[in-house]
Amino acid sequence: MNTAINSIADVRMHGFRTRSEVPVVLEWIDQHAERLGPESIPLEEACGRTLAEAVIAPLDVPGFDRAAMDGFAVRGAETAGASEYNPLEFGVIGQAMPGQPFAGNLPPRSAVRIMTGAPVPDGIDSVVPAEYATEADGRIVVTRPVAPGQHVGHRGEDLQSGSAALSTGRRLRPQDLGLVASLGLEQLTVVRQPRVRMLVTGNEVRAPGAPKGMYEVYDANSYMLRGLIKRDGGVLEAQHRLVDDPERIRAALLAPGADVILVSGGSSVGREDYAPRLIAEIGELAIHGVAMRPSSPAGVGRIGQALVFLLPGNPVSCLCAYDFFAGRALRLLAGRSPAWPHRTLQAVVARKIVSAIGRVDYCRVRIDDGRVEPIALSGASILSSTTRADGFVIVPAECEGYGPDAEITVFLYD
């Protein structure tokens, strides 16, 4: 197995003389998939996007001292000693509501009725919760003391003006948008989404819903890839379903507007597998043929500034090559972590998972009572193996597989 990027030969009807190792492909991707530039978008569209600039608070949050409970605003020191056996009385001289502060000064041993979120009057430092006071005839009786500052949210205790509310590179969650909204900001500067062009090739491929001949197949890959592109932060720039015509494929590869081009099908060594040679002619085919199973005909390259990924036509191979290579590139371009976007769990092997030294294996597995059963190692066209599986296991190139009772990491499809 080679450990360096090879010059590209025409492998049609000849087969691969050598195959690149998976780490070599990943290294090439990490070198070439640089984070895209910034764009400004409305706050309501920002969930899941990556911040290109830090969010700096333009104001204090909260912007004033406010009640954290419904009750009565008082001077905390004046409630010292209050109890069931020593109730203290305060005169109620007004009220404060959210957006409607109490205007005036409080004389000693007086209180203002106040609701949660309302401004605390000047000179007042505490709120007696409603359940600790009894109100009658314009007065309240307090039976429990409150300390100065108790049940009051102070100005700037959430965020102070000029502080960093959210840092660059953060992938925005719903609560982040709420925080930004609390600062009065309606736009955010985020990393631009990678624009992805999808080319599904093959004379035999038909669109779902269209008539199909006996020896033709429906296009499954484009629908699977759409979901994966969205998952990894990309946006579909265009989709083309193409017959095996080199000129039409060439035109689709050369059209401007894409950051990433995915070519599904036509990536192997068949007579009509035109895409690898076309990429090499009009751009750079850096790697073609990878020491892995499935997806060994996968390839990567560039046309202008666009990254190009050869994804085998067999559905499981397509999924595997996308997840290993194209998905990683999309996440890097979108400013996300390149790591696998799957939950993982540790589990014990029930039945041996067989592999071979020198290649990476992507094995679909089922988990039964905490034990891992391989569903398939081969069968790159058996897409249902991925729907019956709970996840997959990656067997590294230096490993012959995993025997029964070995503890392994499972990547979960959900």
CATH number for the domain including 114? 2.170.190.11
Given a cut of 70, whether residue 10 has pLDDT beyond it is no
Q: pLDDT tens, 69-83?
A: 999 999 999 999 999
- Parent domain of 382: 344-412
Residue 379 lies in a domain: yes
Using pLDDT thresholds of 50, 70 and 90, give the confidence band for residue 1: very low
Using pLDDT thresholds of 50, 70 and 90, give the confidence band for residue 14: very low
Among residues of the chain, what percentage have pLDDT more than 90? Answer: 82
**Alpha-carbon distance 289 to 9, whole Å?**
11
Given a cut of 70, whether residue 269 has pLDDT beyond it is no
Given a cut of 70, whether residue 309 has pLDDT beyond it is yes
Mean pLDDT of the chain: 92
pLDDT the model gives residue 385 = 82
Q: Same domain for 296 and 187?
A: no
Q: Same domain for 219 and 176?
A: no
Q: What is the pTM of this model?
A: 0.86
Q: Same domain for 133 and 277?
A: no
Among residues of the chain, what percentage have pLDDT more than 70? Answer: 93
Using pLDDT thresholds of 50, 70 and 90, give the confidence band for residue 3: very low
Residue 16 lies in a domain: no
Q: Same domain for 367 and 299?
A: no
Using pLDDT thresholds of 50, 70 and 90, give the confidence band for residue 18: confident
Neighbours of 5 (CB within 10 A): 14
Q: Indicate which CATH number applies to the domain containing 262.
A: 3.40.980.10
Q: pLDDT tens, 192-218?
A: 999 999 999 988 889 899 999 999 888
Using pLDDT thresholds of 50, 70 and 90, give the confidence band for residue 376: low
Q: Same domain for 238 and 312?
A: yes
Q: Same domain for 205 and 181?
A: no
Residue 279 lies in a domain: yes
Q: Indicate which CATH number applies to the domain containing 167.
A: 3.90.105.10
Residue 357 lies in a domain: yes
pLDDT the model gives residue 5 = 39
Residue 115 or residue 378, greater confidence: 115
Q: Same domain for 170 and 198?
A: no
Residue 243 lies in a domain: yes
Q: pLDDT tens, 273-282?
A: 789 999 999 9
pLDDT the model gives residue 12 = 44
Given a cut of 50, whether residue 358 has pLDDT beyond it is yes
Structurally, how many domains does the chain consist of? 4
Angle at 250 between CA 247 and CA 255, to 5 degrees: 125
Q: Same domain for 128 and 183?
A: no
Residues 236-261 have a mean pLDDT of: 95
Q: Same domain for 55 and 74?
A: no
pLDDT the model gives residue 7 = 46
Q: Same domain for 176 and 228?
A: no
Q: Of 333, 352, 371, which marks where a domain is finished?
A: 333
